[in-house]
């Protein structure tokens, strides 16, 4: 039979291992939310419910202050529809608190 200390050590190890994700995995997990945010904003601004989006680039950005702040993910997303095109910068904190689509540039 396993004692309490061993059980706690195993549980802590498993929690630590399952909680560790690579930057790539975090970016993959946040990408659908970033795409949805850019799509909704573009559909409104372009007055085009059929606008569609695609990721142009994505990047992991460290906090503004070295030991404070939240690391964030930045996605550059292109949106097109109804004869219009635009790009949006979508910022998602790595803590999963939600994404923000910054003002776009339309052509």
Write the burial class of residue 30 (CB in 10 Å: 0-12 exposed, 13-18 middle, 19+ buried).
Answer: buried
17-46 pLDDT tens trace: 345 678 788 888 899 999 999 999 999 999
For residue 53, the 8-state DSSP code is E
Q: How far from the centroid of its chain's Cα atoms is residue 77's Cα?
A: 12
Q: Which residues of the chain have pLDDT under 70?
A: 1-20, 104-107
DSSP string, 64-106: SBTTBS--EEEEEEEEEETTEEEEEEEEEETTSS--EEPPPEE
pTM: 0.72
């Amino acid at each position: 039979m396993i004692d309490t200390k061993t059980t706690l050590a195993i549980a802590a190890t498993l929690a630590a291992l399952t909680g560790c994700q690579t930057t790539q995995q975090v970016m993959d997990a946040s990408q659908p939310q970033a795409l949805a945010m850019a799509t909704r904003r573009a559909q409104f601004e372009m007055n085009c419910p059929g606008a569609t989006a695609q990721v142009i680039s994505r990047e992991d950005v460290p906090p503004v202050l070295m030991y404070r702040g939240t690391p964030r993910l930045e996605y550059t997303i292109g949106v097109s529809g109804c004869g219009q095109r635009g790009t949006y910068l979508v910022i998602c904190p790595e803590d999963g608190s939600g994404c923000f689509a910054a003002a776009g540039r339309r052509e």
